[in-house]
Structure formats: structure tokens, C-alpha cells
């Protein structure tokens, strides 16, 4: 069995280590044995090719090779004002959706970001302030989700938190040094729900809006 040669290499200076999720040596599933991990790229994230033996229910064993992309784990938060029945979203350019058919690549989203080495709650407090200009108080953990389990390792931690007041409707936020230019958008919650699948096509945002309607602050 082999692993990545350099477990300390990072992707583009970020805290995604080449050896962290190589997979060799995992014992949680007795029917799967990862036999080899090869690093194909370590730029923004880490792309690996994993080879594994899978023992099937019919008694046969197959050897498979799959590419796995590790961009680190992340967190997202739905910012809401229960009294005014509004939510605070962001709009920013997303290159992958632009090249895959989205008209202009500008997505309406909940505030989100990578954890790097922070705890999920600390990370989302940081990201919410950077992306919306709001310092959030009490925060509610909603659930944790693997967003694209067929090829991406990322686990996303979902939160909700209240914000107060309308704020500056023309606010642009984000970390300029990281190329971020984020427009802060306040929407009436019912209007945000109506945009699902039309003006809101981001998975994490849809999940949090539906949670808010079914079990969260607007479920009553």
C-alpha cells in the first residue's frame, strides 16, 4: 500500500494537506480496502486518484480507481430577521457555474466559507462578517451535509443566526485581497422561497431556506 509522499504539502498555501484524506489504512468498512493513493494535483485543493478493493454482496470483489477532490470542509449560515421576516443573502460571481451554463455566474447564496484550521462555528462567524458586514450573536447548528459525495470530500456545517435591522442596502463586502466582490442582498423570506429553482439555484441556500420554512424560524 502506498500513500502520498509528502503529507505536509499544502494547496495554494491553504490548510489542505496532501496526506490528510489519502484514505489508506481506513478500517471503518470491512468490505472496502483502499490500496493506493496518488496525488494528481495540489493547487487550490488536492486531487487524488484512489484505488480500492470492494467486496460485493454476491461474493465477488472488484478493483476500482476513483478521483477524489479535497478542498477542505466548510460552513454556511442563514442570517434571518424573524420580526421583519427577512433573510440576508450574498450575490457573487462563481466561475464553475458560469462555465456550466449559468447565464452570468452571479449566484444568490447564504454566507459561507472554508474552515481552514478553525472550528466550524468560529469559521462561519468570520465568514459572515467578511461577506455581509454583520457580527452575529447566538448561532444555531442545523445539520452537517456531504455536498457532492460522488467525487468531493467536503463536509459542510450548516447554521442559522439572527441579524438585526436592514443595514446598508448598497453594501459590498468580501476580502478584496482574495478577489471577492460580494453584494449583500436582503429579501423578504417568502420572496426568497419563491426564487428557489429560478433565481436561487445554490444547493446550500435552498436547503437552509427550506429548513427555515419547515422546521426553523419561519415554520410557524
pLDDT tier at 171 (50, 70, 90 boundaries)? low
How much of the chain, in percent, has pLDDT values that exceed 70?
83
Of residues 1 and 202, the one with the higher pLDDT is 202
| Averaged pLDDT, 75-100 | 96
pLDDT at 6 over 50: no
Residue 177 confidence (pLDDT) above 70: no
Cβ atoms within 10 Å, residue 85: 14
pLDDT at 12 over 70: no
pLDDT in the model for residue 220: 78
Across the range 81-97, mean pLDDT stands at 95
State pLDDT tens for residues 56-75. 999 999 999 999 999 999 99
More confident residue, 20 or 123: 123
Distance between terminal CA atoms of the chain?
55
pTM across the whole model: 0.88
Q: How much of the chain exceeds pLDDT 90, in percent?
A: 74
Please state the length of the chain. Answer: 220
**45 Cβ partners below 8 Å, 6+ apart?**
11, 16, 69, 70, 71, 72
pLDDT digits (tens, 9 = 90+) for 126-138: 999 999 988 888 9
Q: Which residues make up the CATH 3.90.79.10 domain(s) of the chain? A: 74-214
At 76, list the grid cell: 454556511
Q: Is residue 144's pLDDT more than 70?
A: yes
Looking at residues 188-204, what average pLDDT do you find? 98
Specify the fold of 74-214.
Nucleoside Triphosphate Pyrophosphohydrolase (3.90.79)
What is the per-residue pLDDT across 35-45, written as a single tens digit (0 to 9) for each? 999 999 998 89
Q: Please tell me the distance from the alpha carbon of residue 48 to that of residue 143, in angstroms, as a whole number.
A: 27
Amino acid at each position: 500500500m502506498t500513500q502520498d509522499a509528502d503529507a505536509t504539502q499544502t494547496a495554494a498555501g491553504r490548510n489542505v494537506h496532501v496526506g490528510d484524506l489519502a484514505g489508506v489504512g481506513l478500517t471503518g468498512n470491512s468490505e472496502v480496502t483502499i490500496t493506493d493513493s496518488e496525488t494528481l494535483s495540489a493547487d487550490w485543493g488536492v486531487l487524488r486518484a484512489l484505488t480500492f478493493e470492494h467486496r460485493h454482496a454476491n461474493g465477488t470483489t472488484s478493483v476500482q480507481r476513483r478521483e477524489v477532490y479535497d478542498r477542505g470542509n466548510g460552513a454556511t449560515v442563514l442570517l434571518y430577521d424573524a420580526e421583519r421576516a427577512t433573510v440576508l443573502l450574498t450575490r457573487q460571481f462563481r466561475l464553475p457555474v458560469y462555465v456550466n451554463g449559468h447565464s452570468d455566474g452571479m449566484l444568490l447564496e447564504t454566507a459561507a466559507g472554508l474552515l481552514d484550521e478553525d472550528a466550524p462555528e468560529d469559521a462561519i462567524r468570520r465568514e459572515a462578517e467578511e461577506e455581509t458586514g454583520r457580527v452575529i450573536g447566538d448561532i444555531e447548528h442545523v445539520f452537517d451535509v456531504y455536498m457532492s459525495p460522488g467525487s468531493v470530500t467536503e463536509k459542510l456545517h450548516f447554521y442559522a443566526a439572527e441579524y438585526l435591522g436592514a443595514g446598508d442596502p448598497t453594501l459590498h463586502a468580501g476580502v478584496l485581497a482574495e478577489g471577492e466582490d460580494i453584494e449583500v442582498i436582503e429579501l423578504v423570506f417568502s420572496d426568497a422561497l419563491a426564487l428557489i429553482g429560478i433565481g436561487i439555484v445554490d444547493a446550500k441556500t435552498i436547503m437552509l431556506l427550506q429548513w427555515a420554512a419547515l422546521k426553523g424560524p419561519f415554520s410557524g
